[in-house]
Structure 1
């Protein structure tokens, strides 16, 4: 069953949309990969991931490998539903079926 169209202001900014779309296509993604994909600095990526994590849209896992800290990220079920609903809303806007963003 398709997700209901629901515009999501939290996901809509291009940086967050890029991150969520990347995570929707993967099981887990490494911090470095997300940094490269989104073209962000470490601090800017950390800030965006924190916003999405606080909303319950993603989960981060921090682990120590040798002497290096590694961070990987995955989309939660809530994040996947929000993303699919947002994409459905964007498609509806583009096709003319939706004239105003839905709360």
Structure 2
């Protein structure tokens, strides 16, 4: 059975931790697009919160959660979140993407 959009958002929110606000939109190709906002950080202009927005072409959930994990480690090193348990796998996926672009 396929999980609903709200169930996916609840799961992503639980994994992302207390600093995150998670939204799932529908992209133009009807795939889910994950947006994770940081409640503590602002962008350079100061108007909007830092966020990651990843569509589901490869795996939007993993791509968004990977970027969020990197943000937590870089900007909020003392923050605990369940997604940080997968940091090693996220770093490996990043390395594989970089190697794929170089080839």
Report which of the two has the higher share of strand.
2
Query: Where on the TM-score scale, by shorter chain, does this alignment land: which range?
Result: 0.3 to 0.5
TM-score (norm 2): 0.33
Looking at CA atoms only, which structure, 1 or 2, has the larger radius of gyration? 1
